[in-house]
Amino acid sequence: MTLKLSFTRSRAFAATAIGVVLVAGAAVAQQAPQIMERTEWDNRRLEQLDRNVRRLERALTQRNAAGQPVLVEPDPEVVTLQSQFGLMNQRLGDLESTVRRINADNERLTFQLDEAQRDNAALRTRLVDAEGRIEKQETAAELNAPIVANSPTGGAVQDLAAAVRLMGSDRPRGERALETVAVTWPDTPQAREANSRLGDIRVAANDKGGAVPFYAAALKDWPRIGWAADTTLKLADALFATERKTQGCGALGEFTRRYAPTATDAQKARATQLRTTGGCS
């Protein structure tokens, strides 16, 4: 026959489970009450406790010698707690494995993101370079295309005004717009002014030789217009700069005959200076 002992509280067992009595081969373990009064431990009580423990040890030894081992059953609450603790350990292990996997995935994703960002930066640089080359090619094709008659506004005055405004923001396209005005509206005051401005552009680029034909086109038939006197002096200066003395002196003669009476003092002084430096008689 097997004796089973239930341990509900380890301390209660030590204090009260000594009252085990073996009767007719059966052992009954008396469990101490859940709530006990506080015990004052003195020498007498300690000796009594020691005798009870020794008596219990002898009883257990006799049972084992008789072939009836004593099985000590753990407290069901302890078993439950141990089971829950094991489950918690298992879940904690699973959680740690999950965290390690997530960390590994994050490191891999971070590396991939860095690579993607580097690739995007390289592609962006190549795209910007390609767009720049395409824009340059388109601009070159546009600026080098033959000049044909075209009126964006439908009027010479408006076309010239638009070309002058464009010169302030986009000089190459503004210059082309002036050339378009000269081609689209020939023999008009706007075409002459456009040619005069084109001559100024050549002078600004240190190309006085290239300015001569534009100034000459602007002064065709010697128009009576506000800018004509100044343009005549510019034509004379460009002719002298390109060693065309006779033509330069002739331009100054036209200035004297046509524009001197209404010219400003500054323009008259400029004409005298050019005549002296050019060696005109």
pLDDT in tens, the chain (281 residues): 333 333 333 333 334 433 433 333 334 344 444 445 566 668 888 888 888 888 888 877 887 787 777 666 666 776 777 788 788 888 888 999 899 999 989 999 998 989 889 889 988 898 888 888 888 887 787 778 899 999 999 999 999 999 999 999 999 999 999 999 999 999 999 999 999 999 999 999 999 999 999 999 999 999 999 999 999 999 999 999 999 999 999 999 999 999 999 999 999 999 999 999 999 98
pLDDT at 17: 38
Domain edge (last residue) among 145, 168, 198: 145
How much is the pTM?
Answer: 0.56
Q: What is the pLDDT of residue 9?
A: 38
Classify burial at 70, counting beta carbons within 10 Å of its beta carbon; exposed 0-12, middle 13-18, buried 19 or more: middle
- Predicted pLDDT of residue 214: 98
Q: How far apart are CA 130 and CA 119, in angstroms?
A: 16
Q: Determine the structural domain holding residue 135 and report its residue range.
A: 75-145
What was the pLDDT predicted at 71? 62
| Same domain? 193 vs 105 | no
Q: Which of 50, 73, 96 is the last residue of a domain?
A: 73
Residue 212 lies in a domain: yes
Domain count across the chain? 3
Question: Do 216 and 262 share a structural domain?
Answer: yes
135's tokens: 């824009």
Given a contact cutoff of 8 angstroms between Cβ atoms, the answer to whether 209 and 242 are in contact is yes
Query: What pLDDT, on a 0 to 100 scale, did the predictor assign at position 73?
Result: 65
Contact between 163 and 174 (Cβ < 8 Å)? yes
Q: Is the dihedral of CA 111, 113, 114, 120 positive or negative?
A: positive
Domain assignment present for 150: no
The strand ranges marked E within the chain are: 3-6, 21-23, 26-28, 70-73
